Amino acid sequence: MRIDILTLFPKIAMAPLGESIMKRAQEAGLVEVCAHDLRKWATGKHRKTDDYLCGGGQGMLLKPEPIFAAIEELRRESSKIILLTPQGSVFKQAKARELSSEEHLIFISGHYEGVDHRVIEQLVDLELSIGDYVLTNGAIAAAVVTDAIVRLLPGALGDARSAVDESFFDPNLLEAPAYTKPIEFRGLKVPEILLSGHHAKIEEWKAEVSIERTQANRPDLLDQ
Ligand code: ADE
């Protein structure tokens, strides 16, 4: 898989991808990730990438020309072009799984008030938001989406854990609380059931507390 990230801040996009599992996935050749400075495709003396809004309004928009030029250079037959924007559909695990089987992703990271709409109309296959809040910079969102996709590539997580657990992952239920040693810490004990060795009962307990936790933290998931 290859992922190209177009941004005014390549260092922001790459910083979280240069450590730990993301670093190893790239070193192992599972994925090639490259963040490009959009200014490389800007022309004119000042290499301007943004401009005022037509019709008035606050802020600046990314201009279409550098984005068109970059995409035309980077795009291949198999490329999927994704814009990171708070106006996109919300990125979920199912979409991460779907995108993990693509050959080539190109992320366009918005900045300022977003991008000229002709970019969306002509180039973009999918608009994604990482949640209902506004970041200063789509490069952060591109790194988040990249991480979620790359960890799903076979071999990325390395151990047996991953793939098995995730095939049972229920997107409408939060995980049960988890404990490790010590069994007692500052008078706080690990629930007895988890020490019982009774697997069926443990699973039953986990299902129960999962629902309670979902009810408390994410009641919206139970409505689905
Ligand atoms: N750019 C700014 N905020 C964003 C968000 N929530 N998701 C994706 N891109 C963004």
Look at residue 110 in the predicted model and tell me its pLDDT: 86
| 138 & 199 share domain | no
Please give the DSSP secondary-structure letter assigned to residue 45: T
Residue with tokens 């996709």: 149
pTM: 0.94
Decide if 197 is inside a domain. Answer: yes
pLDDT digits (tens, 9 = 90+) for 97-134: 999 999 999 999 988 789 999 999 999 999 999 999 99
CATH number of the domain within which 182 lies: 1.10.1270.20
Instruction: Kindly report, residue by residue over 208-224, the tens digit of the pLDDT.
Output: 999 999 999 999 999 88
Task: Identify the three-state secondary structure at position 151.
Answer: coil
Regarding the beta carbon of 141 and ligand 1, being less than 6 Å apart is answered: yes
The domain that holds 13 is classified in CATH as 3.40.1280.10
Residue 156 located in a structural domain: no
Domain count, the chain: 2
Q: What is the pLDDT of residues 158-187, one digit of tens each?
A: 864 565 456 567 889 999 999 999 999 999
- Residue 162 domain-assigned? no
Q: Does residue 109 have its Cβ closer than 6 Å to ligand 1? A: no
Ligand 1 centre to CA of 73 (Å) is 25
- Asked if residue 110 has its Cβ within 6 Å of ligand 1, the reply is yes
Question: Across the strands, what pairs with 6?
Answer: 36, 108
Of all protein residues, the one whose alpha carbon is nearest to atom 2 of ligand 1 is 135
Boundary-marking domain end, from 120, 150, 180: 150
CA 75 – CA 205 distance, rounded (Å): 50
Predicted confidence (pLDDT) per residue in 126-155, tens digit? 999 999 999 999 999 999 999 999 999 999
Ligand 1 close to Cβ of residue 90 (< 6 A):
no
Distance from the Cα of residue 41 to its chain's centroid: 25
Tokens 């060795």 correspond to 197
Whether residues 43 and 95 fall in one domain = yes
Ligand 1 pocket residue status of 134, Cβ below 6 Å: yes
Beta pairing partners, 23: none
The answer as to whether 158 is a domain residue is no
Say if 29 falls within a structural domain: yes
